[in-house]
Structure 1
Amino acid sequence: MSVLERWRHISNMVENEDYVTVEEFCTRLGVSEATIRRDLTAMEGRGMLERFRGGAQKVKAIYIPEHSAGEISHRLMERRDEKIKIARRAAEMIGDGDYVFIDSSSTTYFMIDFIMAKDVTILTNSILIMPKLLEKNMRGYITGGFIDKCSESVIPDDYTVAMQSMNFNKTFIGTYGISEKTGYTTYGTAEGNFKRNIIAQSEQTFVLADMSKFDRSAFFSYASLDACTLITDGRNSITDNMEKVIIC
């Protein structure tokens, strides 16, 4: 049984029962206690379950997007002033001649209006951002791949191959959750893996998030808190413990 198959079985077990002990996992899956403990540790780190002494249970509070489609469009008007403030500060980080990736999110969307740097090349996966680049006559490219309706983005079928030959001075991404335990999280594995690959190809990565994103976790952890610089609009116990943070 592969690791992914074990994780699927473990997820089903904790979803259908109040809690499951390590011994029960070992008996049902036919693997050692050490293997189960490694699996539970890894899965908890990704927000897939919660551990307790001697076992695991399903996550009690996990963020699920309100809208099943058109998520970005719906959220553009939510906390709009905060998002514009964050986007303006993020745009100031772009320098002349930079190669930049801008992720699809309801905060990064507003960045285009504030980019003053010259000779900037922008790659985006956002269906909504691309028309703004055309409108401002900026040099822009869009990723190829399948369309994710919820994030209104284009995600390559093989993001590892698609991204490995590209290098960015700066990357700007959105997030669905920020937690000390799970780091930066998003709800989809395809989107999460894509973000992870983009971060690996960038000299600097900035996460744009307002205060509503804190203390909640989604399914997929794509970066630790120290892997990116956070640009946000306020302070809390999480930002106070972060080295890479810009308060605007």
Structure 2
Amino acid sequence: MFKAERLQKIQELITKQNHMDINTLSKLLNVSNVTVRNDLKELEEKGILYRTHGGATLRSQSPLQSIPLLQELNPSTEAFAAIERIAEEAANYVEDKEWIFLGSGTTTCAIAKALANRDVQVVTNNVLASYILSQQPNANVILCGGKVYTERIPFLSGDLTLNNLSSMFFNKAFIGVSAVDFKCGYSVSNDVECNIFKFLQDYSKEIIVVTDSSKFEKAAFMSIGNLDIANTIISDTGMPECYQEYYKENNINMLLV
């Protein structure tokens, strides 16, 4: 049996049983336990399953799969292809062991997903991002306190959140925005998000805005600052040329995927 066939067979077996142990898989596939462990590691890295003590469980059995957003973040979903690429680029931009902050929103959830199996230290007010990262054995995750705001993706904000953040300093802070415009700068849909983003400017070595090109030349409810507040912008190649020229002229690091 070729490796590709073996990997497919493992997925089929675990799908039927929900969980399989290494010894059983080894006998059914007629391969060594070492081969099975390597196969399970590869399937976990692809996001297909979780390795457990002595076996594996299909990732789709996780409670996360009941959240519609996770389905939207699937790389096979065409509408989120740009967000997935941005998230991968952002994850590659993170150095092991450095402290990062992940803000609210869809793109930061995708970054959390892209950080699978990375040795990272993350503080976030993004409830779903914290849950995604909590499934990763190498991630050190801190969910800051605060009032829960139940928008499309729940996040925490308020005085308690700001008080918690005031004792921390981040190497990199990744923030998603609702809109980008020359006149309005970066803007978000509510004032509580605005307070956090402005706060992070004083407590982060590098501010990184992550947003897809559909957000450009638009304005949302409240501005968090001019376009030069970001040290780095990560977006896709659909970004309008006038904005690309602006970032180049102002020596703002720009990563397009």
Length-normalised TM-score, structure 2: 0.64
User: Residue type matched to 1:233 in 2?
Assistant: D
Q: Which has the larger radius of gyration?
A: 2
Matched residue SS, 1:167: coil
1:203 equivalent among 202, 205, 222: 205
Q: Following superposition, which runs of at least 4 residues in structure 1 exceed 6 angstroms of deviation? A: 70-75
- Structure 1, gaps ≥5 residues long: 1-69
* Residues in 2 aligned to 1:176 and 1:71: alpha-carbon distance in whole angstroms: 20
**Structure with larger RCO (C-alpha < 8 A, sep 6+):** 1
Aligned to 1:247: 256
Q: State the shift of 1:121 in Å.
A: 1.1
User: Residue type matched to 2:236 in 1?
Assistant: D
Aligned to 2:102: 102
Matched residue SS, 1:144: coil
Contact 2:146/2:159, CA 8 A, preserved across alignment: yes
Q: State the shift of 1:115 in Å.
A: 2.6
Contact 1:130/1:140, CA 8 A, preserved across alignment: yes
Greater helix share, structure number: 2
User: Residue type matched to 1:129 in 2?
Assistant: A
Contact 2:186/2:225, CA 8 A, preserved across alignment: yes
Matched residue SS, 2:201: helix
Contact 1:178/1:185, CA 8 A, preserved across alignment: yes
Among all aligned residue pairs of Structure 1 and Structure 2, give the percentage whose two residues are the same amino acid. Answer: 26
Contact 2:98/2:120, CA 8 A, preserved across alignment: yes
User: Residue type matched to 1:105 in 2?
Assistant: G
Cα gap change, 1:99 to 1:185, in 2 (>3 Å): same
Contact 1:175/1:184, CA 8 A, preserved across alignment: yes
- What is the CA RMSD across the aligned residues, in angstroms? 2.4
Q: State the shift of 1:213 in Å.
A: 0.3
Aligned to 2:159: 157
2:229 equivalent among 222, 227, 230: 227
Aligned residues: 179
Cα gap change, 1:225 to 1:187, in 2 (>3 Å): same
